[in-house]
Amino acid sequence: FTAVATTNTGPAGGGGAPPASQTDTATPITGICGRRADFNCDGKINSIDFSILLYFWKTKPPFANKYVDLNNDGKIDSTDFSILLYNWGKNK
C-alpha cells in the first residue's frame, strides 16, 4: 500500500470520466522524517502520532504541520487516520 496524491491537470467541469487528454500526476507522501505518519520523528508510529493527527482533525489548511495531511487532499480526515493505522507500530 502506498498513499499517493493525484493532481488533476485538466479543466474543471462536470462529473464522469476525465477526457483522454487529461493526465494525473502521482506523488508519494512521506513525512518530515522520511517516514509517513511519524509526525514527531521518534522513529515509531504510535499514540503520540495519533494525538498529533487528532490535534489537526477537521481543521482547514494551511496546516502548521503539512505532513499530517497524509494523502495531500487538503483535509485531515478518516483517510489520513486510515493511513496512520496502516503504518501503526512500524519502526525505522
Residue 10: its pLDDT value, please?
47
Residue 8 banded pLDDT, cuts 50, 70, 90: very low
pLDDT of residue 32: 72
Quick one: CA torsion of 11, 12, 17, 20, rounded to 10 degrees? 0
Cα separation of 9 and 53, whole Å? 29
Rg (CA), the chain: 15
Burial class (CB in 10 A: 0-12, 13-18, 19+), 3: buried
86, pLDDT greater than 80: yes
pLDDT in tens, 14-64: 444 444 444 334 455 677 787 889 999 999 999 999 999 999 999 999 999
Is the per-residue pLDDT at 75 higher than 90?
yes
| C-alpha–C-alpha distance, residues 58 and 64, integer Å | 13
